[in-house]
Structure 1
Amino acid sequence: MKVIDISRELFSAPVYPGDPMPRRDLLRRMDLGDVCNLSGFYTGCHGATHIDAPCHFIEDGKTVGQFAPERFLGECTVIEMRGIITGSDIDRILPHAKKNILFKGEGEAFLSESGAFALTDAGVLLVGTDAFSIETDKDETYPAHRELLGAGVPILEGLNLSNVEPGDYRFIALPLLLGGAEASPVRAILIME
């Protein structure tokens, strides 16, 4: 079994424009004579590798804490695509993909509204990307987010798929149990048998 970490490190990952900068505060330090090391940290819920839950864009949508943990593990397919992914693109890949799909595009794999609709229509359970966001920021109405999250499909963003070959894997991407939150950082891994 091989485990591949596909997470970005929280404090050094690039931050989506407008999001808060993560930071870690050292509260106690053994090198300064304290009995232990102790840190506190601050971050936005969308820092580094993270899950978007429906309530991010859907009024009364589920929060991250309302999903069962098993929703964030299972079989997935990593697909290499770059640019705007359309419904036609999705129709071509669906026959070869699992119900959890991760897009690898060197930070440039984005879904169009038609791509998001094709995924929800096919019953996909989770969609991920190695980009900051599942869609470009050119459309401020965020139609891909609204389509996926409106169908109850969590979105996994900010993945590090640079060392991952396209294909089928098992994945784990558990969010923190943040009551009422629209998103959560995750530690995401792929498992090759």
Structure 2
Amino acid sequence: MKIYDISKGYFTAPVYPGDPVPRLERLQQMQLGDKFNLTAYYGGAHAATHMDAPRHFVDDGATIDQVPLEACFGPCTVLSVSGILTGEDADEILQFTQPRLLLRGEGSAYLSQSGAFALADGGIALVGTDASSIAPYEDAVLPHQELLLAGVPILEGLDLSGVPDGNYILAAFPLKLEGLEAAPVRAVLLEE
């Protein structure tokens, strides 16, 4: 079995415009004579590879600790796309994709509102992208809302550069950060 780590580094990934830049503080360091190492860190819930829960764009939506874990694990399709995926594109993809869909577009694989609607309506359990957002910057709200209102969690900031298109098993569990709208994820693909 081959395992692909499809997560970006929390402190090294590009930051979405306006989000806080992650940073760390070494509180204890053995190399400075302390008895152990201890680090504190600060950063946004949407830094690097992360999962959006419905609460991100739905005021009374489920928080990240309420996302069903079944959505985070199971059969998945990685697919290369270019630009913004429309509803028509999504309808074609749904004919052959697994219940979880990860879009690779060299950091620019996005969904339009109609694309998000078609995927949610078609029974997708989770959708992800190698872009920092599933939606283009100028239309950030509606694609998110279509998916999140339907209870479809969104994986953003994936590193799919070393993964061929195809079918895999996805394991992408978010940190259990109670009450938040998103959380970092260590995402992997399993290939038999």
The question of a shared fold, defined as TM-score above 0.5 by the shorter chain, is answered with yes
Q: TM-score range by the shorter chain?
A: over 0.9
C-alpha RMSD over aligned residues: 0.8
Q: Indicate the SS of the match to 1:186.
A: strand
Superposition pairs of residues 76-95 of structure 1, within 5 angstroms: 76-95=76-95
* Corresponding position of 1:192: 191
* Corresponding position of 2:182: 183
* Corresponding position of 2:103: 103
2:159 pairs with 1:150: no
- Give how far 1:67 is off: 2.0
Q: Normalising to structure 1: TM-score of the pair?
A: 0.98
Instruction: Give the unaligned 5+ runs of structure 1.
Output: none
- Per-residue Cα deviation, 1:41-86 (whole angstroms, up to 9, x for no partner): 1110001000000000002100010123232111100010010100
Q: Which amino acid aligns with 1:80?
A: S
Superposition pairs of residues 52-131 of structure 1, within 5 angstroms: 52-131=52-131
In structure 2, C-alpha distance between the alignment counterparts of 1:69 and 1:131, rounded to whole Å:
23
- Give how far 1:139 is off: 2.2
Contact 2:5/2:189, CA 8 A, preserved across alignment: yes
* Corresponding position of 2:159: 160
Q: How many residues align?
A: 192
Q: Which amino acid aligns with 2:28?
A: R
Q: Normalising to structure 2: TM-score of the pair?
A: 0.98
In structure 2, C-alpha distance between the alignment counterparts of 1:92 and 1:68, rounded to whole Å:
27
Contact 2:50/2:183, CA 8 A, preserved across alignment: yes
In structure 2, C-alpha distance between the alignment counterparts of 1:70 and 1:25, rounded to whole Å:
35
Q: Indicate the SS of the match to 1:173.
A: strand
In structure 1, C-alpha distance between the alignment counterparts of 2:133 and 2:67, rounded to whole Å:
21
Q: Indicate the SS of the match to 1:48.
A: coil
Contact 2:67/2:153, CA 8 A, preserved across alignment: no
Q: Which amino acid aligns with 1:25?
A: E
Instruction: Give the unaligned 5+ runs of structure 2.
Output: none
Q: Percent of counterpart pairs with the same letter? A: 55
Alpha-carbon distance change, 68 to 120 in structure 1, aligned in 2, over 3 angstroms: closer
The ranges of structure 1 where at least 4 consecutive aligned residues each deviate by more than 6 angstroms after the TM superposition are: none
Q: Which amino acid aligns with 1:123?
A: G
